[in-house]
Amino acid sequence: MHQNFSSLSLTHTIMGQPKPGQHVALVVGVTGMAGVALTEALKKPTALGGPWTVYGVSQRPPPEWFPTALLDNHIMLDTLNQNQTHQILSPLSSQITHVFWVAIQVNESEEVNVSLNSSMLSNVLGALTSSPNSKLTHVTLQTGTKQYMGPIFDPTLSAQLAPRDAPFIEDYPRLPFPNFYYALEDILDSYSKSFTYSVHRASIIVGASTTSIYNSLLTLSIYALICKHENYPFRYFGNKYSWEHFWDVSDARLLAEQQIWASVTDKAKNEAFNCTNGDMFTWKMVWRVLCDVFDVEFVPFYEKEKFDLVEFMKDKGEVWDKIVEENGLYKTKMTEVTCVGAIEQVLRLEIQHVCSMNKSREFGFHGYANTLKSIPYWVEKLRQMKILPKGL
């Protein structure tokens, strides 16, 4: 849940004023997987629309692994606090031209999710558009495939859901359930006379951070390392259906690339795009990659003996503490950086989780990533950041 930071001093280190006519990005949720990738992508010399000035917003100070030097301004801000958000962001409204919304608040109840996430976005947009000198021209909104599946983590609704057929297509009608993605799209649409927007529907995101609520790769990595450290078999905990049927994921670098493209491409304005790597895999294929990366033995799926990851991991926090200590890693608590229950639930769905990338290609975005190469890349990145150990 959120904390109120109104009594704290705010990180507000301005490295210099942006040049006239320069694009100024406000990345809200800057320390998450997508935020890290966006920051790095915006600061590349080859970035579309560049050179960019990049302001980053997070609720807490950036962790020591975060590339703070790439930010022109870091703002520590509780966007649920309307007064604080207005106080801090309104003076910047004459500078910020683009908002990249990669923030999220998560609650078990989807109705609460609608309320929390709507408040955050409304507070930020209200602060940035309240001045007649507002320079805001475009907002990119990151959502996901719950657009097509419904609120799968809401225990009062999940049993009633009937996901759309795969591959998921952007113009599928909305499902008749509360969904904070729908609410955020409606908020953007209500500002359509003030600025343009684009919506980016990600699959499972693969990237590097310790602050993302749903970090499946870090969860799987920690699970593999605990198995290796304690000599447990690295067993698959999903069902046979997901083991054998097609899935997709979204490399955080690709998400950043698509969001920047849409933010400066006229025909992409006021459109929604799926954003996945563009390939498909089975979890059996991914499991072999993870076994190679972490040097653990591949265990074939055994349907007759159901394996409960939540039960297995519930007492493994001390093992992770030991791995962190032995390897001099950035201090993390297992329960704070993993999403064990969520990933177990997702991998027990009996659907093919695949998005169509046709619309994105037809509009001119041709980015892609090889998922079976993305996974080792991001594991190595997590090792370089000292979040995961090298060579264990």
Tell me if residue 330 is catalytic.
no
Q: From the candidates 148, 181, 223, 236, which is the catalytic residue? A: 181
Cis, bond preceding 167 (omega within 30 deg of 0):
yes
Residue keyed to tokens 């409960």: 308
The secondary structure of residue 90, as a DSSP letter, is: G
Catalytic residue among 43, 146, 316, 381: 146
What is the rounded CA–CA span in Å between residue 235 and residue 309? Answer: 9
Other beta carbons less than 10 A from residue 25's beta carbon: 28
User: Of all helices (H) and strands (E), which one includes residue 85?
Assistant: helix 82-89
Contact (Cβ atoms closer than 8 angstroms) between residue 207 and residue 316: no
Does residue 256 contact residue 38 with C-beta atoms inside 8 Å? yes
Q: Give me the phi and psi of 41, to 5 degrees please.
A: -70, -40
Dist. CA 15–CA 140, nearest whole Å: 24
222: buried, middle or exposed (CB in 10 Å: 19+, 13-18, 0-12)?
A: buried
User: Residue 137: what residue type?
Assistant: T
Contact 277, 246 (CB under 8 A): no
Catalytic residue status for 322: no
**In contact, 223 and 347? CB cutoff 8 Å:** no
Residues making up the chain, counted from first to last: 392
Residue labelled with tokens 């209500």? 190
Element containing residue 138 per DSSP (H, E)? strand 138-144
How many angstroms separate the Cα of 392 from the Cα of each of 224, 238, 324?
A: 10, 25, 11
User: Would you call 388 exposed, middle or buried from its count of C-beta atoms within 10 A (0-12, 13-18, 19+)?
Assistant: buried
User: CA distances (Å), 59 to each of 65, 129, 145, 351, in order?
Assistant: 16, 21, 25, 35
Q: Are 47 and 18 in contact (CB under 8 A)?
A: no
Alpha carbons 84 and 81: distance in angstroms, whole number? 5
Residues with catalytic function: 146, 181
